[in-house]
A and B are shown apart, each in its own frame.
Chain A
């Protein structure tokens, strides 16, 4: 079955560490997205990519970086510059502008 796989499900980061969240899709979707979800704040867009080797900053890109070397993969790195990284991170993809998003099951990142 086609879908989006995010890993790991839970991730713990020490102060000053960079961590990378994985997102892989086998839906043949061109567009992929990273959102962050905090309690009471809804989903906020971090980065998005509409095509391989191209990506754009979202509303809260500071302290994050991404790459899009393959159509199937859109990893997110949370750098030490992100001062408040504890959140639920969601990856999504879509075929086109008039299609719904398919979301992964999320990664819960906690700073320890």
Chain B
């Protein structure tokens, strides 16, 4: 069966450290993968998109990697801040249909 797996346990880190979140998928062949941030009671906000032929993408303190052999994406936040505390969702396209399938998200807590 098709699955997108993100760590359901919250990730607790100290301010200033690098947070690394994992997204693994099974039985998909996505052309691209996206990451979103969601705050409680709000809609997700788009952060980054990485294509299947890109190994790495950066935006300010954010970095995403995409390994189609391992079927895994890693999402990094460097120099993390308490304001980065949120749930982070990965999503991938169900090939050719222009519709995203979402993981369940990982909650990140950054303490001062």
* Residues of chain A whose beta carbon lies under 8 Å from any beta carbon of chain B: 4, 6, 31, 33, 35, 40-43, 45, 48, 50, 58, 88, 90, 92, 94, 97-106, 108
Contact = CB atoms under 8 A, between A and B. Distances in A.
Interface of B is mostly: strand
Contact of A42 (B31, B47, B93, B103): B103
B112 interface: no
Interface of B: 4, 8, 31-32, 34, 36, 41-47, 49, 51, 89, 91, 93, 98-105
Contact of A103 (B32, B44, B98): B44
A40 B106 CA distance: 10
B93 A105 contact: no
A90 to B, nearest CB: 5
